């Protein structure tokens, strides 16, 4: 399946502008997630917002956003106020400097995007990619999207380019906040540790050599339950809720539901005698139109 771009932008530095297409580099959909169900009937649960003070449900149109500036003290903002403070989205990643790739610690790495040349950008894209690769440097710049402003790093990756979204300095905690006691290291111990590292050293990193074993176990468990017909079918609320049933039984039940429908197609004349009411007080006998109205009211 061909990749689909999520946006178009340009890499801008100096008087040079390179049109590119943006693609997500990672798949969050690969993460397995579970839904919350009611244990007794298997129906999916819905969240409801409650006011902690009044203990009553709150509708969406009664909600505003607030910032807690002190303990239990908030300032509220209307949607229009928040919208006015958002960064206007740009269609350009403006390069501000070039630094060695090794100068940026991976702890600052956030989301990654692949960049591919857009129409008319093949040649400047190839030139920019090769210049970065041979210089051993990456481009640092700014990019605005979804109302926010980001620091980005553009670096060569295989035959193309990756735009790496970076964290701001105040988003990364200092390791100096940790209590790491100093300890002496003996030369003999250091030598043995270095030998162990050398024995397990590789010149390249192969990500395909590592599998998410937890996800594989969960997928296998899900498939086992599916194969064993342990499937929860949630019906409409008025039809009685959820139950765990065998698929063959479900098919038989579907066929049985069609039987009454076939009976309803029988000639109307044959059914009329059975519907004739017993004789009661003559004055209370309702006409056909009245009976129909009464039946609808029930």
In this prediction, residue 268 carries a pLDDT of 45
| pLDDT tens column, 25-56 | 887 666 788 888 888 888 888 888 888 888 88
In this prediction, residue 130 carries a pLDDT of 93
Average pLDDT for 222-242: 64
Confidence of residue 228 (pLDDT cuts 50, 70, 90): confident
The answer for 72, left when phi > 0, alpha when psi is -120 to 50, beta otherwise, is: left
The answer, yes or no, to whether residue 232 has pLDDT greater than 90, is no
| pLDDT tens column, 149-186 | 899 999 999 989 999 999 999 999 999 999 999 999 99
Q: Which residues contact 149 (CB under 8 A, 6 or more apart)?
A: 87, 142, 143
For all residues of the chain together, what is the average pLDDT? 79
Contact 11, 20 (CB under 8 A): yes
The answer, yes or no, to whether residue 3 has pLDDT greater than 70, is yes
In this prediction, residue 43 carries a pLDDT of 86
Please give the structure tokens belonging to residue 215.
Answer: 């996800």
| pLDDT tens column, 183-221 | 999 999 999 999 999 999 999 888 888 888 888 888 888
In this prediction, residue 269 carries a pLDDT of 45
In this prediction, residue 229 carries a pLDDT of 65
Lowest mean pLDDT among 12-16, 20-24, 255-259, 282-286: 282-286
Instruction: Enter the CATH code of domain 7-29+86-169.
Output: 2.40.290.10
Please tell me the distance from the alpha carbon of residue 262 to that of residue 162, in angstroms, as a whole number: 63
Name residue 44's beta-bridge partners: 37
Give me the percent of the chain exceeding a pLDDT of 70. 73
Average pLDDT for 264-286: 48
In this prediction, residue 270 carries a pLDDT of 44
In this prediction, residue 298 carries a pLDDT of 40
In this prediction, residue 166 carries a pLDDT of 95
Extents of the domains making up the chain: 7-29+86-169, 45-85, 214-255
Average pLDDT for 273-282: 49
Length of the chain: 298
Please give the structure tokens belonging to residue 289.
Answer: 């139109």
CB 115: neighbour CB atoms within 10 A?
25
In this prediction, residue 221 carries a pLDDT of 83
| pLDDT tens column, 83-127 | 777 666 667 888 999 999 999 999 999 999 999 999 989 999 999
Confidence of residue 236 (pLDDT cuts 50, 70, 90): low
In this prediction, residue 104 carries a pLDDT of 94
Identify which has the larger pLDDT, 245 or 126: 126
């Amino acid at each position: 399946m061909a990749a689909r771009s999520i946006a178009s932008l340009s890499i801008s530095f100096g008087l040079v502008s390179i049109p590119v297409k943006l693609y997500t580099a990672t798949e969050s959909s690969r993460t397995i997630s579970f839904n919350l169900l009611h244990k007794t009937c298997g129906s999916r649960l819905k969240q409801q917002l409650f006011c902690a003070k009044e203990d009553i449900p709150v509708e969406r149109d009664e909600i505003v956003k607030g910032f807690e500036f002190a303990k239990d003290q908030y300032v509220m903002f209307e949607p229009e106020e928040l919208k006015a403070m958002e960064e206007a989205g740009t269609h350009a990643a403006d390069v501000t400097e070039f630094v060695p790739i090794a100068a940026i610690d991976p702890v600052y790495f956030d989301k990654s995007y692949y960049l591919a040349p857009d129409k008319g950008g093949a040649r400047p894209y190839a030139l920019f990619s090769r210049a970065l690769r041979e210089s051993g440097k990456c481009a640092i710049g700014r990019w605005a999207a979804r109302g926010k402003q980001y620091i980005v790093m553009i670096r060569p990756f295989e035959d193309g380019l990756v735009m790496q979204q970076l964290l701001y300095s105040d988003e990364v905690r200092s390791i100096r906040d940790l209590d790491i006691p100093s300890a002496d290291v003996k030369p003999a111990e250091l030598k043995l540790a270095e030998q162990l590292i050398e024995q397990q050293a590789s010149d390249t990193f192969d990500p395909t050599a590592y599998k998410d074993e937890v996800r594989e176990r969960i997928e296998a468990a899900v498939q086992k339950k599916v194969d064993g017909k342990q499937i929860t079918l949630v019906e409409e609320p008025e039809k009685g809720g959820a139950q765990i049933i065998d698929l063959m039984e479900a098919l038989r039940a579907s066929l049985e539901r069609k039987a009454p429908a076939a009976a309803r197609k029988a000639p109307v004349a044959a059914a009329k005698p059975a519907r004739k009411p017993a004789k009661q007080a003559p004055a209370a006998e309702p006409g056909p139109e009245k009976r129909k109205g009464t039946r609808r009211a029930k």
